[in-house]
Amino acid sequence: MSKALLTSIVLKSNITMLDIVSTRMLGQYGFLAKVFSIFEDLGISVDSVATSEVSVSLTLDPSKLWSRELIQQELDHVVEELEKDCCCSSPSTQVHNIIDRECAEVFFDT
């Protein structure tokens, strides 16, 4: 039996990634359920998910997204819904960074 830690590497092209960062997720229940209910309501399939204590990174299922215009439209809807509880950076078809309002106030308060 091999003791190698790395077992595989996968490469995918044209992936749309969404990174959600919120201090509200730490030790809380229901945060991820709320995030994923938005995707369910909009009919958007999530391909893969990685999490930490205060962030969730996910990729969207590329088979569901037919064109770059559709990707932008769908992500705009996701951002609209998430902005009800989070601050969002300017939309991009590559990466969206969504930051908890409390964090945004700390970092951007003038």
- Asked whether residue 92 carries a pLDDT value surpassing 60, the answer given is no
Residues whose CB is less than 8 angstroms from the CB of residue 77 and which lie 6 or more positions away in sequence, other chains included? 42
Question: Could you tell me the pLDDT band of residue 36, with boundaries at 50, 70 and 90?
Answer: confident
Per DSSP (E only), the strands in the chain are: 17-21, 46-51, 55-60, 86-88, 95-100
Sorted by where each begins, the domain ranges of the chain are 17-108
CATH annotation of 17-108: 3.30.70.260
The Cα 29–Cα 10 span in angstroms is: 31
Q: Is the pTM of this model over 0.75?
A: no
